[in-house]
Chains A and B, each alone.
Chain A
Amino acid sequence: MADATTPVAVAPAPTSKPAEKAKVVAPAYREYPTVPALKVDAMVESNPYVAAAVHNESVGFPGTLVDGWEQKAVAKMGELLGKYRSLRVYMDACVHCGACTDKCHYFIGTGDPKNMPVARQDLMRSVYRRYYTLPGKLFPKLVGARDMTKDVLDDWFRYYNQCSECRRCSVFCPYGIDTAEVTMAAKEIMHSVGLGHKYVNEIIGKVHKIGNNLGLPGPALENTLEGLEEDVLEDTGAAVKYPLDVKGAEVLLVTPSADFFAEPHVDSLIGYGKVFHAAGISWTLSSKASEAGNFGMFIGNYEQMQKIAMRVREAALELGVKRIVVGECGHAWRVAYAFWNTLTGVGAGANDPFAIQLQKQLDQNYKQPSHICEVTWDLIQAGRLKFNKEANDHRIITFHDSCNVARGSRMGDYAGGQFDIPRNIIRAVANHYVDMSEATTREKTFCCGGGGGLLTDELLDLRVKGALPRMEALNEIVQHNGVNFMATICAICKAQFTKVLPYYGFKMSMVGGVHQLVSTAIVLNNEQ
């Protein structure tokens, strides 16, 4: 389980397609990274499943599309315009310059013009102009303003569910307009009138009921962790512990629930445990907060996002931990790094009793929360971990920057640490590392194609097409450098690539976590 050797996957052209999904075909690689010609309505058939009433209601939204939804949606937009400066400014500021038009992976993969970021924003901006600006009220045609109709709502549901909220467009916009903010607002509006997305709402329901996205109950979790301890003992001879709900542990590790049993995710979980073991740090997982992911962000709903984040605060207070560490998960790290201090007081620098209660308990010598990569890198720099780098010699490794880590968070002490620290770790534990084209890495990284709550089977066609730019960059170094392993620090990226790589002729085992590599090379104390 720990270390599957990954054979070289050479892909001359993306022809491989599993038979049962004959409909879904990977687009051909572009000879040069040219901008695709527009294919109007190419993705008009791409719709996620609408949430059933029970799923909507379990998250506090109306079960089905409410009467008078048109007015209610417009009113909700007005409410959000008053609550979010981002939306307020971004509705006005766009000049239609077109700088973003070729930056979205879904546009590159599909050619559908409504997947150009500006066109996606305009689905909402046209309604904003109609109801909230004078020219839109007086001369709707002139400024491209539209009434809130069923056709418009259908387009919202289609195309706001073809945005993974990866923020690549916001890097390139001269005003920093972030389509993710618009998409989140659109989803919030749709949910508020009873038009929910099944996959996301089902998952949020599970988090509240069971504690994690995958619906893994406490006893099953305990079983899984015991199994891991046995496996690691057998593999390494070291009695590495994977503790659950241990009061008084120093570190509370909050990780995506996929880490508990999905491949290749679990190999990174094994790696975290080995790092804590080797460094002699006491740690624990929590059955209450057995999920780092926070799908509340995907639907732009502050209350849900906070409610989900509060589990972590409560677990930290109950267990009395000194440090909170987050596992390999992209959007979870954005929520943890950028939002937890706001939502729950996990952080520093508060002057209100709510946040101070927790911040007094936490050890402020460490960043709160810390990313597992920050923890590992600090230990490496302090000389507290030893590696047998040759153990990774069968791998030629590259690193895929996950969008939420790259463009929505940071690691370490300086801007851009989120790019260097994972790469530093890889170089510390392996001998062969190659970067992908710089137009597709660091803050210019392309989304895996499955983020933002789109990691669901009915959107597979979109996911395969959206992976095109990343697959092109990967293919280039597979051809030139024989790369056979793409490391990443995001549960969604791992699941998405596992599914999508075969469509491009690569082995699904090519993707894995950074701590999977750490796990392979780390020298455990018991062995000496």
Chain B
Amino acid sequence: MNLLFALLFYAATLILVGGVAYRVYEYARTPAPLKIPTTPAPTTTGGVAFRMFREVVFFESLFKSNLWIWALGWTFHLGLALVLLRHLRYFTEPVNFIIAFIQPFGMYAGFAMAAGLAGLWARRFLVERIRYISTPSDHLMLALLLGIAVTGLLMKFVMHTDIVAVKSFFLGLMVFEINPLPAHPGLYLHLGMVALLMIVFPVSKLLHAPGVFFSPTRNQVDNPRETRHLAPWAAKFEAKN
């Protein structure tokens, strides 16, 4: 089991990092031949950075769009962010004081994360429009995330695992040593699902995370009259004219 999980996490990490890096490379090298910011749009680079910041941190467009989806989605993402930060303590020694400071918040953020996910999932059944657009993979993705949240919460509050051993397992992986992992069904489930999530990340809708930074309607400066914007493939047409 120790070896299996060690190999699984090496593979998952490679796929996650390599896959996302490849996707980002693809997005970055594909030109945006025309200026298409959704206006009104910022007229300066600083303005665009501020727009992206509001979009990524507060989900501004979603807030304007639908308060229910925004509340559930933002709760889930904020919860997830805190939980992820909290988990850094299992991968670092000594633990950074900020990470130590947020431990109690991170613990309860797990509940927020699960509640947000449950609400988002309920919408896929209860709202006719959302039911219509949902694919099996949409359900599975929510099941996977909720499974990770629930098994994590169970280990924290109900059936504890030997967290010190878990930490030594992951610290060991970083220096290519395989230390024993506690034989705990909840832990196996938790880690297995996390690895699966890492593996599907680069080929799934989870690409919305890097994708949003490359969205031309959001990241372009509204200055087409002031600056000439030309993609390499489009410049070739000019030679013909």
Number of A-B contacts (CB under 8 A): 228
Residues of B within 8 A of A348 (CB): 225-228
A287 to B61, CA, bound (A): 44
Q: Is A176 an interface residue (CB 8 A)?
A: yes
Contact code string A91-124 (vs B, CB < 8 Å = 1, else 0): 0111111111111000000000100101100100
A306→B30 CA distance, assembly (Å): 20
Which residues 411-453 of A have a CB within 8 angstroms of B? 414-416, 418-419, 443
**Interchain nearest-CB distance for B212 vs A (Å):** 5
Hey, what's the 0/1 contact readout for B125-169 against A, CB within 8 Å counting as 1? Answer: 001111011111110100000000000000000000000000000
* Residue of chain A at shortest CB distance from B56: A174
Whether the pair B137, A144 counts as a contact (CB closer than 8 A) is yes
State which residues 397-418 of A face B: CB under 8 Å: 406-410, 414-416, 418
B36 near A415: Cβ-Cβ < 8 Å: no
Q: Write the nearest CB–CB distance from A252 to chain B, whole angstroms.
A: 16
A415 and B134 in contact, given A176-B38, A349-B228, A408-B36 (Cβ under 8 angstroms): no
Question: Are A38 and B129 in contact (CB-based, < 8 A)?
Answer: yes
Q: Does A347 have its Cβ within 8 Å of any Cβ on chain B?
A: yes
**Nearest A residue (CB) for B72:** A97
A199 at the interface (CB under 8 A from B): no
Interface residues on B, range: 35 or more
Residue B97 interfacial (CB < 8 Å): no
Contact status B69-A415, CB under 8 Å: no
Asked whether A142 lies within 8 Å of B62 as measured between CB atoms, the reply is: no
Q: Does B215 contact A (CB under 8 A)?
A: yes
Residues on A with beta carbons closer than 8 Å to the beta carbon of B33? 83-84, 302, 342
Cβ of B184 < 8 Å from any Cβ of A?
no
**Is B23 in contact with A349, judged by CB distance below 8 angstroms?**
no
Known: A135-B203, A352-B228. A167 touches B241 (CB 8 A): no
Q: Which residues of chain B are within 8 angstroms of A502 by Cβ–Cβ distance?
A: none
The CA-CA distance from A86 to B62 in the complex, in Å, is 19
B96 partner residues in chain A, CB cutoff 8 A: none
In the complex, which of the residues A83, A172, A177 contacts B233, with contact meaning CB atoms closer than 8 Å? A83
Are B133 and A98 in contact (CB-based, < 8 A)? yes
Kindly state whether residue B237 has any CB partner on chain A within 8 Å.
Answer: yes
Does A345 lie at the interface of the complex (its beta carbon under 8 Å from any beta carbon of B)?
A: yes
Q: Which 8 A-B pairs have the closest CB atoms?
A: A93-B211, A172-B65, A144-B135, A176-B217, A415-B40, A176-B218, A350-B228, A349-B227
Could you list 7 examples of A-B contacts with CB < 8 Å? A83-B233, A89-B216, A93-B208, A94-B205, A96-B135, A175-B211, A352-B230
Chain B positions near chain A (C-beta within 8 angstroms): 23, 26-27, 30-36, 38-43, 47, 55, 59, 61-62, 64-66, 69, 73, 123, 127-130, 132-138, 140, 200, 203-205, 207-208, 211-212, 214-218, 222, 224-231, 233-234, 237-238, 241
